[in-house]
Each structure stands twice: as C-alpha cells, then as structure tokens.
Amino acid sequence: MNKQLVIQSKERKEYIKRKKKNKVLVLFTQIFILIAFLGIWEILANKGIIDSFMMSQPSRIWNTLINLGSEDLMKHIWVTVYETIVGFSIGTILGIGIAILLWWSDFLSKVFEPYLVVLNSLPKVALRTSYNNMGRCRDTSNNCNGSCNFISCNNT
C-alpha cells in the first residue's frame, strides 16, 4: 500500500482559513448578542422599565441557581428522576397491557376504536385527571379557599 500525500492547493488552504475565521466570528457574535440581551434585560429591570416580578432579571436567576446548590437540590433531582421513571414504567406497562388486550379481542378493539381515535386527536395536556394546583379561582369568596378545582370551585 502506498501512502499518498494530500497536497492542498493555496486556494483550498485559504478557503479553510476563511471558513474557520467565519466560524469564530459567528461564535463571538452569538456570545455578544447573548451578553447584550442579558445586560439590557438587567438594566431595564433595575430601572423599573420592565416588571422584575413578572420577568425577573438575570442577577436574580443566577442567585437562585447558586442558592439551589446549597440546599436540597440533589434530593429534589432524585425525587423528580424517581417519579419520572416510576410514571414512565407504569404508563408503559399499562399501555402494553391494553394494547395486548385490544389486539387479542376483536370485539373490544371495535368497541373502543372511536374513543381511542378521539383521545389520540386531543392535545395531551387536555387529558389531565386533576386540575389541582393549576392556579386560583377568580372569585375566592366561595368555599374552595381560592384553589381552582373544577368540582369544588364552580362559580354558580
């Protein structure tokens, strides 16, 4: 086997150099835009031009991220991961079980087909089973103590 030397032309070398230079320029421009955006956001929040309660501000977000590490961040991450794995496992097992049941039973498959088609066309967010912790009721004078629950907080 002969090893061939790859000889690049002068134009090719210049082309590669321009591409690298362009890549660096794009990266620096992206970083500049990010820094400018965060700086303008911080200044506008400090001057009160934008509501820092609604839009927060970069320094507050950074302080919150720093403080999260000093508290029970790993505990919260573990709980989230655990709940995600358990929920995914239960959903997968139930889904496979229902799919096998529908596959084996032609009768059940035909009975549930229109309902499954409708459920499949709905946005998945609309399939929530509970509306607890979704906000507050507009009229908190009723007996639901401000929690917005469809069953106990219908303003009639």
pLDDT digits (tens, 9 = 90+) for 57-93: 999 989 888 887 766 777 888 999 999 999 999 999 9
Sequence ranges of the domains in the chain: 13-71, 72-106, 122-156
- What pTM was computed for the model? 0.43
Cβ neighbors of 16 (< 8 A, separation 6 or more) are 8
pLDDT digits (tens, 9 = 90+) for 3-41: 555 677 888 999 999 999 999 999 999 999 999 999 999
Phi, psi dihedrals of residue 142, rounded to the nearest 5°: -80, -175
Residue with tokens 């000889």: 7
Rounded Cα distance between 109 and 90, Å, is 22
